[in-house]
């Protein structure tokens, strides 16, 4: 981590400076672990990570050797492998001991399972807290469960740029709150929540916590252990580079596993799976939070995606993300602020994940103009241009060229040739 060098105050931020930062970057060798098929400037690694070079061979091994040759005889090996990859993800990315993470289903399904399990642990409480600017899936799942159970959702009025803080949560807690559902890194701005303090406040009030780790796993340290967090979910196709449709994961703190019971009773969570009993009996440990047949191709991709993260270490990755976003912030202040852009992410490196969001009234049009120039960012309402930097795959050169393209586009008004968001939708 100490090998990183932050840009000095008053530095010349020319292209040569970006190249010099790349030359000194200890994460630079990991770019050779990934596929770069063209000259695309890719600033959307927090939506879909790049393809690891080893993944096609891993998939071919599962398809050709295991499925093709061993057929159903591969299942004992596959089942053990699925458990092992969940444990590895827990150790290398989430910082927790084995036996507390399972790879299963999608983030949405895992949210449904764990929210219901948590509510059943607090049957006398009738309120869920969730930040109003949480990711829409989280909001929808909470709303659906609340409607089905006849309980109340309380929406924390978090700022869309600064995110949620402990005082906001503490003020909303009461002896009727069963569960607090929050994102560790805000999907829109990248604001990093104080998991330890917020979880402590929830526990003091007798509530449980469920953390969405989709935008933090693989980009920042996740203090599940220090916080004694209760539950967590996340996806694997962003910073974990497991590919589109790769399975999600869920975390349940060890001491809660014997108490919690999720609502989707499938045969992979049955205690005696091949006993074929007609009555359900939940398995022990994390197996009770599974549902149906695991996605072995997806799990193999998860395992391959973990290789670079495990080798680099999450501490060094987090530092790399802070420096990339910090460099982008300096360029935005220097080049883009005169063009009516504003940094919408927290300005302190310790308060954000690995993406930086810019506000501009014509952000949608700027985004479309960038894509036309083969620069890939993301747009988020209202009027936010989201730049996702993956420390293992994004170079300072890409950051420099990407923000230079934004500068060029807006200086000449190139973005004005593109329709507004409303026109594009209609």
Q: What is the DSSP string of 104-117?
A: -S-HHHHHHHHHHH
CA distance 384 to 368: 13
CATH number reported for the structural domain that contains residue 414 in this entry: 3.90.1150.10
Q: What is the pLDDT of residues 18-49, one digit of tens each?
A: 999 999 999 999 999 999 988 899 999 999 99
**Structural domain contains residue 39:** no
Taking residues 276-302, report their average pLDDT: 95
Is position 40 within any domain?
Answer: no
* Number of domains the chain contains: 2
Element holding 120 (H helix, E strand) = helix 107-121
pTM greater than 0.75? yes
Residue 110 domain-assigned (yes or no): yes
Query: Same domain for 65 and 22?
Result: no
Of 310, 344, 372, the residue at which a domain comes to its end is 310
Decide if pLDDT at 351 tops 60: yes
Cis peptide before 162 (omega within 30 of 0): no
| Whether residues 250 and 361 fall in one domain | no
Predicted local distance difference test score (pLDDT) of residue 12: 59
Q: Catalytic positions, please?
A: 135, 212, 237-238, 386
Q: Copy the structure tokens of residue 133.
A: 């600017």
pLDDT digits 0-9 by tens, 278-290: 999 999 999 999 9
Q: Which domain holds residue 306?
A: 56-310
Mark whether 324 and 282 lie in a shared domain: no
Based on the fold, state whether residues 239 and 251 are members of the same structural domain.
Answer: yes
| Confidence category of residue 420, pLDDT binned at 50, 70, 90 | confident
Residue 134: inside a domain, yes or no?
A: yes
What are the pLDDT digits (tens) for 212-261? Answer: 999 999 999 999 999 999 999 999 999 999 999 999 999 999 999 999 99
In a domain, 50, yes or no: no
End-of-domain residue from the set 247, 279, 310: 310
Name the binding residues for pyridoxal 5'-phosphate. Answer: 107-108, 135-138, 212, 215, 237, 267, 293
pLDDT by residue (tens digit) across 75-102? 999 999 999 999 999 999 999 999 999 9
Query: What residue numbers does the annotated binding site cover?
Result: 107-108, 135-138, 212, 215, 237, 267, 293
Q: Give the model's confidence band at 367: pLDDT under 50 very low, under 70 low, under 90 confident, else very high.
A: very high
DSSP 269-281: GBTTGGG--SS--
Whether residue 110 is found in the same domain as residue 168: yes
């Amino acid at each position: 981590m100490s090998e990183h060098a932050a840009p000095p105050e008053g530095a010349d931020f020319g292209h040569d400076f970006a190249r010099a930062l790349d030359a000194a970057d200890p994460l630079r060798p990991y770019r050779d672990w990934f596929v770069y098929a063209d000259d695309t400037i890719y600033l959307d690694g927090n939506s879909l990570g790049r393809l690891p070079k080893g993944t096609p061979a891993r998939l071919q091994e599962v398809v050709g050797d295991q499925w093709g040759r061993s057929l159903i005889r591969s299942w004992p090996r596959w089942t053990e492998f699925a458990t092992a990859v969940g444990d590895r993800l827990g150790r290398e990315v989430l910082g927790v001991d084995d036996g507390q993470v399972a790879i299963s289903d999608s983030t949405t399904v895992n949210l449904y399972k764990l929210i219901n399990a948590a509510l059943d642990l607090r049957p006398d409480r009738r309120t869920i807290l969730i930040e109003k600017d949480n990711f829409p899936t989280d909001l929808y799942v909470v709303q659906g469960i609340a409607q089905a159970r006849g309980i109340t959702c309380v929406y924390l009025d978090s700022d869309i740029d600064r995110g949620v803080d402990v005082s906001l949560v503490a003020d909303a807690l009461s002896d009727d709150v069963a569960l607090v559902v929050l994102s560790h890194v805000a999907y829109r701005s990248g604001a990093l929540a104080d998991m330890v303090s917020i979880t402590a406040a929830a526990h003091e009030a007798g509530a449980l916590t469920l953390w969405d780790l989709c935008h933090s796993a693989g980009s920042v340290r996740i203090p599940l252990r220090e916080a004694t967090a209760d539950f967590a979910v996340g996806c694997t196709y962003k910073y974990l580079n497991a590919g589109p449709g790769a399975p999600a994961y869920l975390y349940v703190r060890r001491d809660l596993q014997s108490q919690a019971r999720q609502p989707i009773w499938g045969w992979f969570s049955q205690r005696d799976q091949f006993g074929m009993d007609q009555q359900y009996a939940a398995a022990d440990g994390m197996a009770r939070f599974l549902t149906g047949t695991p996605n072995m191709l997806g799990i193999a991709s998860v395992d391959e995606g973990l290789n670079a993260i495990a080798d680099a270490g999450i501490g060094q990755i987090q530092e790399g993300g802070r420096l990339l976003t910090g460099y982008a912030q300096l360029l935005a202040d220097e080049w883009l602020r005169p063009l009516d852009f504003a940094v919408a992410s927290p300005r302190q490196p310790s308060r954000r994940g690995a993406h930086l969001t810019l506000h501009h009234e014509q952000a949608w049009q700027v985004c479309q103009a960038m894509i036309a120039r083969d620069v890939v960012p993301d747009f988020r309402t209202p009027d936010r241009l989201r730049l996702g930097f993956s420390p293992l795959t994004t170079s300072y050169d890409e950051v420099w060229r990407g923000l230079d393209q934004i500068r060029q586009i807006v200086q000449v008004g190139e973005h004005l040739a593109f329709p507004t968001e409303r026109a594009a939708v209609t």
